[in-house]
């Protein structure tokens, strides 16, 4: 079951990428922006913790 769901997820991602590349890039940029914000928050926390 897990293997089927994994392949279905990969197929959906590829379909989304090829059918709507602009929207897909927007989603990726949003995810990367969120990860960057989280990393910056952790760095700020650590800097304030050790000052």
Note the pLDDT of residue 16. 87
Taking 3-state DSSP, the helix, strand and coil percentages for the chain, each rounded to the nearest 5, stand at 90, 0, 10
pLDDT band at residue 50 using 50, 70 and 90 as cut-offs = confident
Print the domain residue range for 34.
2-49
Note the pLDDT of residue 17. 87
Q: Give the integer Cα–Cα distance in Å for 22 and 43.
A: 31
Note the pLDDT of residue 39. 97
The count of structural domains within the chain is: 1
Q: Give the integer Cα–Cα distance in Å for 1 and 4.
A: 5
The closest of 30, 50, 48, 29 to 40, measured between CA atoms, is 48
Residue-wise pLDDT for 4-47, tens only, equals 999 999 999 899 889 998 998 998 999 999 999 999 999 999 99
Residue-wise pLDDT for 32-43, tens only, equals 999 999 999 999
């Amino acid at each position: 079951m897990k293997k089927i769901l994994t392949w279905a997820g990969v197929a959906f991602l590829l379909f989304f990428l090829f059918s709507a590349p602009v929207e897909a890039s927007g989603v990726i940029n949003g995810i990367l922006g969120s990860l960057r914000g989280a990393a910056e928050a952790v760095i700020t926390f650590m800097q304030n913790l050790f000052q």
